[in-house]
Amino acid sequence: MANCSKILLEQNEKKKVIRVLYSGSRFSITPCLFENLKNMEQYVTVATENHETTCWGCGLRLLLPSHASVFKCGWCGAITNQSKQKCDKKGLRWRRLGDRCILTIVLVFMLFLIFGGVWAVYPVVYSISLFGIFHSIITVTLVVATISSFSFSAFRCAGTPPNLVWGSYPTVANGDLENYTFCDYCSKPKSPRTHHCRSCGKCILDMDHHCPFIGNCVGADNHRSFIAFLISGLFSTIYISIVSAHAGLHTWPPLTYSIGRIHGTTSENLAWRIVKETIFAFLRSLLLLSTRGFILVYLFIASVSMMIGLSALLWQQLRFIYEGETYLSRLSSQAHNGDGKKDCQNLVRFFGFPYSVQRFLPKFLATQKRLIKGNTHDL
């Protein structure tokens, strides 16, 4: 990438004067400095075959080498990619329709887990007075937490980039658009922390990924709600699996065995007959299982499967937050620039605590330091 903050030189053969273009301004220097400047390759780009172009950020005309397809303005800091073709917006309607369908399926599944689960476990769990009140409070708490966090994640804007003034030199100050690029979809500036989502059809600030299960992106404005949804969903699936297993044991039909004569059989044959008869007894009991029992079996299998998936996704998200990265930054080359620092303070700041935890315990820490110093002096 040709950096326009580097000095671009051109030599006027008639006047024997070298003009230096830097940050949109021109000034004259003596010809004897030309060779010295030309040797400074890390700071100077010599424009032998050049052409003029306009920076989209500030509107200044820049003198560039003909081969420079990507360049950075020396005044506003905006990055321009001339080789990038106009993006195609076809298929946006179908992608949105697919997200809406998946979102509807997830909502129906969540409502089935709630109402179907309450109906299935009611005779065993909610029929007892104190025991039923305790489980009712837990159920209402988990339902409210899961539904509210899911709604905030799905129906709140993931992150709107700030509106900036661009395209005019007098209004764009030096470095206002540092490392900004131009979004061909939205036709407006895009910060380094902003990505364009082709499914949502707009730029998202601090975009982590596009989640089809919520039909929305995960960005700066709903990332905490998404983490809260994963946590509440994980505890809800754990609770559903335990309660459904407990209710299933009380409603399952009794197993009937018919091992037959065991006299004269070896231990290996006896063990195999016991295992085989247990399997057949379980299958026979399925024929006597009620509708409530089938729903309990489905709730247990579905909750365990969801628990495994939510645990893996929550672990991945917390690991990225701890490392100061996002899913997209890990995939891109930005993950290897060394800016991300692994620190627990990243988790603290993410969840809304701008200060260190030690800030809230000054007296305790001061007392511990005095005790340590006293013990050191005694030794």
Q: What residues act catalytically?
A: 211
Q: How far apart, in whole angstroms, are the C-alpha atoms of residue 189 and residue 302?
A: 44
Asked if 17 and 80 touch (Cβ cutoff 8 Å), the reply is no
Nearest to 110 by CA among 8, 240, 294: 240
Range list of β-strands (E), the chain: 2-3, 7-12, 17-22, 25-29, 44-46, 50-54, 61-65, 70-72, 79-81, 181-183, 188-190, 194-197, 202-205, 209-211, 216-218
Q: How far apart, in whole angstroms, are the C-alpha atoms of residue 136 and residue 247?
A: 15
Q: Give the rounded distance of the alpha carbon of 164 from its chain centre.
A: 25
> Cα–Cα distances in Å, from 267 out to 61, 260, 272, 273?
92, 15, 9, 10
Q: Give the rounded distance of the alpha carbon of 230 from its chain centre.
A: 12
> What would the two tokens of residue 85 be?
């073709």
